[in-house]
Amino acid sequence: MSYLSGIDFRKKFAPLFEINPLLTDSEAYMILRENSFHVPNTCLYVAKKAPKPRSEEQYWIPQKSLNQLAVTGRLRGERTTLSSSPHDTQLTKCETTIDNELPDREIQKAKFPKVKPREIILLDDTDDEAESDIIVDERRQVSDNPDEGTADVKNQPQNADIPGSKRSFSVYEISDDSDADISDYDFGYDAGSDPEIYHGSQSSSSPSVIRPLAKVKSTKKPDQESETRTTPWISKIAGTLFGRSLRPVERNKDEKSWELALKEYREAMSLARRTGKEFLRESREKIMEIEYRAGDSILVELEDTDSELLHAYIIYLYDDESEGSMAHFRYFKHGYETIIGEIASPRELFLSSECANISMYQVKGKIQVEFRGKSDNNHVSGMGPIEEEYYASVDRYFYRLNYDILSESFTKASEMVIQNPRTPLENYDCHARDAADKMKKDQSLKVLDLNRDNGSATGFIYQGIEYHLKDFVYFVSETTSKKKKPYHIGQISQILVNNLEDSDSMSETDERENDELDVSLLVNVYKRYDDHFQAARSEDVGNIIELTTSYERRVFLRKSKTLRPERVDGHCYVRHIDDIEDFNSYKDLDDTFWVQDQIAHDLKKDLISVEDLEPMPGKHPRYSKESKKRLKREEEKAVSQKNGTKLTTLDIFSGAGGLSQGFHESGVVGTKYVIELDTAAAKTLKRNFPDAIVYNHDANKFLEWVVNDEADLNAGIVYDMENNALLKMPSRGDIEMIIVGPPCQGWSALNRKKGERCFKRELIATYLSLTVLTFPVILKAVCVMAQFIFRALTSLGYQCQRASLQAGVFGSPSSRTRVIFWASLPGYELPKYPRATHLFDGRVPKSPHCVRRSAPHWPITTGDCLSDLYSFEWTNPYVTNPETAAQKSDRLSRNENVTQYLCSVSSRALEYVGLAKQAYSTNPLNEYQRKMRK
């Protein structure tokens, strides 16, 4: 391995830059890396993808001019030759590179065949001359006069240009069919059909093949090609983030061209950044006499850091005897300091939760920061891009969102109120400081209703959660173990309090906080039925034994134990089976368990068996009032979600509807509109959501249609992929929620054929453009490219946050990590991310939104998912051992239970399979199977 400077790199890989002189060092290195640093393949790729020179354009030439050129050439006694085009030169250099560096490769063994490709080029002679055919042949000089003799050019180089031809071209195209096929399928384009589209690397272990030019030219483009389209604002902030500029949909033909608008925006952005940095530098270096007041926005230089000046807001001013003039201020965060990073707006600030006291000597200047977060009752008036208003001034900024550095979330900010200067210092208010004090207070332990006589209490608060006697709770093991285990389950029977001598001031009924109190809990422990009386999970897999019914929600009373409050981690619900009215509805709720048995506490753990279970009396256990209220609220919420009004939702890139189904099961989302290009997927979704309006159409062309319709242009009738007229798109405000799961092939690390020009990478910009047009209340996206998404959403005024979630911790029998974005209009609370419901054996991303010390249930395995399906016998395909009569009879009998489909069909009615429902071999064996059959 060697490290080369830029100059050495260009010298070593000179053939690449000779083939395409416009290639930059970075582009050349990227192409090399994507071709596994295979130089010949890289040369081939560069030659094919190099921009076509203008000399290849067709020009109308009168026939008499060609005659004059031919006569002039004969008088001079030399051939009339046109300059070789750069395109031919590129391929010639490419062939030389292959010959010199890989003499024994398959492609060199094949050589370049000595064939005579012919092309008929018709020249339109408007001078009324007779129309003639110019025959281009690499071995002959060509004249438009058929009576003239042809000179033998046997010794002419193969790629030499032909006199009289109006353009030169390459005889052969060298490509790797195996790679081309994969790339074409992935990107939806014909290889080589568009020089602006990047088709992935061309490295492959399969031998290269040579295709005649005629075959290449006869290749037809697919009927549907997707060109990424956006709104003008999304195009501006995207810049060249996707490897090229994205073309916006033009609303008005009289407007300036999008290229000019994009150029002007980039120049304004660059100027704003440059002048902003100069202003900060001058503010640091110059000492200016400026009068400051509460409510001013300032630049602060910290004493213990060499970082850039910080933006802040003065909450109040005061004098300190030792420090002199002081200020209590609250920090702003510039977009560069957030997750948005370098692509942030140069003029937008975000209000942070950090505050501090500083000396006025550290204040280096004054700036103007305007609050732009005001909105009407619909929360839309303050939305939209506004940052360009501030580019012209070096000291003007705006803010409308908070930024939380721990959760990397942006939320609606409130306008800061100027303090009355006559207010006593101790009464000055700071929202950031008050919020920090409250959080610290909520995290500490607080005892409720302390009884000093017997050293007990009726409840306590820990980490903001209130617990009472008779509550069922989760708690974790006292010792940590590498093996993950679900929560333990217990019921609080007593709350014991010690060290009362230090709390004489506490009354018997007051709620008081005292960190010195020694609090312990006596809990009745409930064990999981499956952990003791079902075959071990490893035995199920290893012995392939017949699976029995699992009761993962069933528990039994085992014993009592004492534990510290710090081990408690949330509430759960345990009900006697006789107290449950609707058993399945109860189990559908989160954190619910049921009990009907108990075991004597004096039996040893290793000796207990199912015969030791004794019926638990129906009056036992008892439940706290607070627990009953919580469970009732959960039941009412479930009914409301089932019967209540649903959010009108648009699903973009829906596929077969998996994302829509998940939101449908939440009970609050109703999928009303869907955009999906694939016809089979669109039909599947329509079958599962018959009330949904499905737009079986390209999202980019759909966006263009919507923009034209909104601008009152004649959008006309648009037809879907099956030539059905599309229904009109809903108006702005009709859609309350947008969900999207854009294709991930362009981003996935498992995709070895991805490239920076993959149009699927750009579809997130299409989604954000549809957001600009509809301004829904809530947005949800499953995707990557976090910086650009945050940049786009915050520039529009949306609150937004993200979290990396592992599907396995939510009861899915698979391992899939996805980045989930939530966004909402200001004034609406951002939806919370769900907490883990199941353990997961693999790595789980850490997220401040989903903190849980364990999970209520064991992982869901593929066995849990598939054990109720009919088994298949594939051990003997009857190739090695002939099929017996008994085996044939058994195979045919299975046809009665398993629906058969033809592999090849001609009827359109049978084009899509999977419409018939399959039978199950057993009743549901676990909760997962029961829920999947609902």
SS3 call for 588: helix
Q: Which of 103, 108, 138 is closest to 213 using CA atoms? A: 138
According to DSSP, the β-strands at 614-615 and 592-598 are: antiparallel
Asked if the bond preceding 621 is cis, omega within 30° of 0, the reply is yes
CA count, 13 A, side-chain hemisphere, 912: 11
Q: Which of 323, 360, 348 is closest to 401 using CA atoms? A: 348
Phi, psi torsion values for 98, nearest 5 degrees: -65, -45
- Reduce the secondary structure of 859-921 to three states and give it as a string: CCCHHHHHCCCCCCCCCCCCCCCCCCHHHHHHHHHHCCCCCCCCCCCCCHHHCCCCCCCCCCC
> Residue 487 gets which letter from DSSP?
P
Is residue 347 within 8 A of residue 314, CB to CB? The reply is no
Residues with Cβ within 8 Å of 895's Cβ and at least 6 positions away in sequence, in order, are none
- Reduce the secondary structure of 659-725 to three states and give it as a string: HHHHHHHHCCEEEEEEECCCHHHHHHHHHHCCCCEEECCCHHHHHHHHHHHHCCCCCCCCECCCCCE
Torsion of CA 884, 885, 886, 889, to 10 degrees: 120
**Which tokens is 757 given?**
């020009």
Out of 744, 758, 783, 850, the active site residue is: 744
C-alpha 278, offset from chain centre: 36
**Which tokens is 700 given?**
């980019």
**Which tokens is 602 given?**
């004096």
Instruction: Compute the distance between CA of residue 32 and CA of residue 196 in angstroms, rounded to an integer.
Output: 18
Is residue 353 within 8 A of residue 404, CB to CB? The reply is yes
In the residue annotation, 903 being an active-site residue is answered as no
CA count, 13 A, side-chain hemisphere, 825: 23
Residue 871: CB atoms within 10 A of its CB come to 8
C-alpha 5, offset from chain centre: 36
Is residue 870 within 8 A of residue 919, CB to CB? The reply is yes
Is residue 927 within 8 A of residue 553, CB to CB? The reply is yes
**Which tokens is 160 given?**
């030499």
Instruction: Compute the distance between CA of residue 332 and CA of residue 310 in angstroms, rounded to an integer.
Output: 8
Residues with Cβ within 8 Å of 243's Cβ and at least 6 positions away in sequence, in order, are 198, 756, 757
Output the CA torsion sign for 608, 611, 612, 616.
positive
Burial 73-97 (b: 16+ CB within 10 A, else e): beeeeeeeebeebbbbbbbbbbbeb
Instruction: Compute the distance between CA of residue 553 and CA of residue 555 in angstroms, rounded to an integer.
Output: 7
User: What angle separates helix 699-710 from helix 763-774, to the nearest 10 degrees?
Assistant: 30
**Which tokens is 863 given?**
């066995």
> Residue 568 gets which letter from DSSP?
E
Active site residues per annotation: 744
